[in-house]
Amino acid sequence: MSKQEVGERAHALARRECAAILQGLSATDAPEPAIHSARKAIRRLRALLALLERSELDLDRADASLQRLGDSLSDMRDAHVVAEAAQRLRADHPEVQLGPACEALQRRSERVMRNEMGKDPLLGRRRKQLADVTLWLDALPWHAVKSSDIKAGLLHSERRARKAQKRAAHDDSPENVHRWRRRVRRLRMQLEALPELGLKTAALVDALHGTGKTKALHKVSDLLGWQQDLRMLRNLVRPMPVWGGKPEVLGLIDRLMADAGVRDVSRTGVIG
């Protein structure tokens, strides 16, 4: 593959992710899943830009703007996620009285959504922010991207994920676990992007000493994500008014968090 073709593919992928973000920010009768889709596309695009950070492209401005855009959607998304987590527990554990918590968290999610939409009607300000990012990315010299830049970026992400895993194994504080989750997720997204860039995944995975298998990274990312959801759920349930089943709900959440065994997973060698 020619040097120019690698850059063209990277630019095309960046444009597709911008389109996916815009779709998630468009008017819809179901804003929660749309915003979730937008945030996922933002993470994928930022993972791509991180993959290219060793290239000649000036990506800092676009990445910083995308980070702000994603952060601006986090309250809406997090409120919806924790309400969904409560509903999941209610379905999996009907013996526990989760009804009051589910209802309160659903009302909270709807309130957060109304407040955010009131401050930015139809998400127009956020779409303008995305348009600026798209224009900035389009102006970059994508022809300068080389396959070696992508390999260097992937190796850098792998080292960061490995370092975060070791830190979480030593100290599984919420901050360390969350950092590990973000870096595992980014590495997984970058590996998933390789075929879109026309690169042979096997050769680059070999450069990671066989540790970059996306299925294993998915498993770790999902586990760490569930841990984070449970932690948010517990933090919101604790200050709620007392009802008959509240102690059992908190006990269930504590057991599930303990069963997930973050320290044990961090020592399994998924990253190496």
- Would you list the DSSP string of 213-239? -HHHHHHHHHHHHHHHHHHHHHHHHTT
- Residues of the chain with pLDDT > 70, as a percent, come to 89
Write out pLDDT tens, residues 33-50.
899 999 999 999 999 999
Q: What is the phi/psi pair of residue 54, to 5°?
A: -90, 0
pLDDT-based confidence at 115, cuts 50/70/90? very high
pLDDT-based confidence at 265, cuts 50/70/90? low
Write out pLDDT tens, residues 162-199.
999 999 888 888 899 889 999 999 999 999 999 999 88
Query: How confident is the prediction for the chain on average, in pLDDT?
Result: 89
Rounded Cα distance, 213 and 131, in Å: 34
Write out pLDDT tens, residues 138-159.
999 999 999 999 999 999 999 9
Average pLDDT score over residue span 106-122? 94
**Token pair for 175:** 């901050």
* Full-model pTM: 0.88
Exposure string over 132-143, b if 16+ CB within 10 A, otherwise e: ebbeebeebebe
Exposure string over 164-190, b if 16+ CB within 10 A, otherwise e: bbebbbeebeeebbbbbbbbbbbbbbb
**Token pair for 188:** 């997984």
